Amino acid sequence: MWTRTLFSPKTDIPRSLYISLSISSVLVVLGLWCLLTYGGFTPPDFLATPVEVLQAAVKRISNLSLFEHMWASLTVIMSGFILASVFAVPLGILMGSFRAVQAMLEPITGFMRYIPVSALIPLLILWVGIGFEQKVMVIFLGTFFQQLILISDVSSRVSKDLIDCAYTLGAKRGQVVRSILLPACMPGVMDNLRVTMGWAWTYLVVAELVAANSGLGYMILNAMRGLFTDVILLGVFTIGILGLITDFLFKWLRQRLLPWSAEF
């Protein structure tokens, strides 16, 4: 009976079972990692053991270097992501709601979102240099056009019946936008911001590829040159943990700021 409930689509399972399954999946991965390293299936230079990664973490936490790299990366990520969101959210809603705006923005957006950000780095170096601004622009370009198309899709799916009903009840155009369109879009907008935040983290190493002297991406690239796989894995795990924290914050903000939206 419980197996039928467990594998039934859209069916809730007990919270304790959910937590148990989550912990089990982590333990399976950890066990496989231990088997590969301690079992001698991989050379030490190719894959560090869990203890070696833990020792690397303790060393860099004690001298505060890990926190310095984390702060440098968080500054780049948040600056680029916030800048992209400030422009993408209103433009995406307009693009999905007004055909004239869609006609102007869709060709450019459709073209730019398929261009790899790494291919634009030489131009960014020429235009903005190799400092902090270049890193922020990599995150901006990596997320802005993706946000724009996703938010436009959310806006275009808002039911026209809601808007027609508002006009029938005597609402003005500005009232329809403020009271109908924006509240209907915001849950989807928040979900897409959460998704694109994950993409922003994936561009971190690319952003810190050129002339960086701090950041988690820099730490990983610098360790790669000496085959310090313990430091590489430490950087990867740190990015993953920070990504999980930002993901949780977006879920929390969605519940707090958008109480009318249904949870899923």
Instruction: Tell me if 22 is assigned to some domain.
Output: no
pLDDT higher than threshold 60 for residue 1 = no
Instruction: Tell me if 253 is assigned to some domain.
Output: yes
Instruction: Tell me if 19 is assigned to some domain.
Output: no
Burial 84-101, CB ≥16 within 10 A → b, else e: bbeebbebbbbbbbeeeb
Instruction: Tell me if 101 is assigned to some domain.
Output: yes
Cβ atoms of residues 124 and 138 within 8 Å: yes
Nearest in space to 168 (alpha carbons), one of 155, 180, 185, 186: 180
Cβ atoms of residues 93 and 182 within 8 Å: yes
Give residue 171's domain range.
Answer: 52-257
pTM to 2 decimals? 0.86
Per-residue pLDDT of 209-220, as tens digits, reads 776 788 888 898
Q: How many domains does the chain have?
A: 1
Instruction: Tell me if 31 is assigned to some domain.
Output: no
Q: Can you tell me which residue has the tokens 């859209």?
A: 10
Q: What's the confidence (pLDDT) of residue 242?
A: 92
Instruction: Tell me if 8 is assigned to some domain.
Output: no
Instruction: Tell me if 1 is assigned to some domain.
Output: no
Name the pLDDT band for 12 (thresholds 50, 70, 90): confident
Nearest in space to 68 (alpha carbons), one of 249, 246, 235: 235
Residue 129: CATH number of its domain: 1.10.3720.10
Per-residue pLDDT of 153-206, as tens digits, reads 998 888 777 777 877 877 777 777 777 888 888 888 999 999 999 889 888 888
Instruction: Tell me if 151 is assigned to some domain.
Output: yes
